[in-house]
Amino acid sequence: MVDFQQSLYQIPLDKAAKRRLIFLIMRFRPSILCVLAALSISGCAGIDRDKADSLVRDVDSLKTSLVETNSRIERLNTKLSLLQEKVERNEAAGKERLSAMPAVPPEGLRVVPLGDDGATKARDAKASSAEGAGPQAPAGADSGEAPDALYRKGHELLAAGNLAGARMVFLKIADRFPDYVLVDNALYWAAETYYTERDFTRAIAGFKEVERKYPDRNKAPDAVLKIGLAYMETGDIERARDYLDKVIKKYPGSEAADTAKKTVDKMADKRVE
């Protein structure tokens, strides 16, 4: 203020006018300071608004990127689960074939030399032809519509990223073959297509159907886990926690229960922070 007064003396006014000017400034000093402060704040506010707008844009961009990344991760997880399931099915089929084979040749088995007559040769040729053709499907049956064939088709479509096509096939299995051994898997993967699309309402409904209809089947623990994760995505933390706890208590020792425990621990850490 002293510097300001000194600068006033440099204004080309007579002494009386300068004294009156200084008197007025000192008298209305609070108002002048308020005006200056307001102008200063207004300038800062303009700068802060620009920064805030920039931050909002950055946050929106990060959110979009995070959603896309989560979708990619979910698709990769789906492919990994499909491969794991395929390996498990092949291993089970291999064990089943091995168990069906006799451990030792039947007692009294003798090698009988075959004759060279034409009837014997014709019979051998017919048997060889039948073995090459494999098991014959019933007349009028469409092998492409059998549940195993449909299930493989659904897997292929899902692995290729054709979510709508895969969902249609899996739901067809559930509708037409309710007693099929992998019907719970089919319903699970149908719900998984909705989860990957981030349609969590339909995903939750689909996973709940798996839990309700097949609580003791292979995919029940995974379905309950996914219900909890889907509720987390919607922001319903209370329901999410209920279903995660349900996995841990109802299916202890399962991979789904291990994942649920880790998720619950992370939720607890976030609350502490």
* Contacts with 185 (C-beta within 8 Å, 6 or more apart), sequence order: 85, 151, 218, 219
Domain residues of the chain, as ranges?
Answer: 1-92, 151-268
Provide the whole-model pTM.
Answer: 0.56
Distance CA 126, CA 120 (A): 10
Phi, psi of 202 (to 5 degrees): -70, -35
3-state secondary structure of 114: coil
Any residues with CB less than 8 A from the CB of 137 and at least 6 apart, and which?
143
Per-residue model confidence (pLDDT) at position 234: 96
* Range name among 4-13, 202-211, 215-224, 226-235 with the lowest pLDDT average: 4-13
CA angle (175, 142, 123) in 5-degree steps? 140
Grade residue 76 by pLDDT with cuts at 50, 70 and 90: low
Question: How do residues 138-154 score in pLDDT, each as one tens digit?
Answer: 333 455 689 999 999 99
pLDDT at 56 over 60: yes
Q: What is the pLDDT of residues 82-117, one digit of tens each?
A: 766 655 555 555 455 545 444 444 454 444 444 445
Nearest-CA neighbor of 205 among 171, 178, 182? 171
Rounded to whole angstroms, the Cα distance separating 81 from 272 reads 33
Q: Please tell me the distance from the alpha carbon of residue 68 to that of residue 53, in angstroms, as a whole number.
A: 23
pLDDT category of residue 51 using cuts at 50, 70 and 90: confident
CATH number assigned to the domain covering 151-268? 1.25.40.10
**pLDDT value of position 185:** 97
Distances (CA, A) of 211 to 56, 184, 249, 263: 41, 9, 15, 20
Say which residue the tokens 């290729």 belong to.
Answer: 160
What does the pLDDT read at residue 130?
A: 45
Mean residue pLDDT of the chain comes to 75
Q: For 150-209, what is each residue's pLDDT tens digit?
A: 999 999 999 999 999 999 999 999 999 999 999 999 999 999 999 999 999 999 999 999
Q: 154, 187, 163, 172: which is closest to 86 by C-alpha?
A: 154
- How many other CB atoms sit within 10 Å of the CB of residue 116? 7
Residues 113-142 have a mean pLDDT of 46
What is the model's pLDDT at position 227?
98
Which pair of tokens denotes residue 21? 């000017």
**C-beta atoms surrounding 225 within 10 Å:** 25
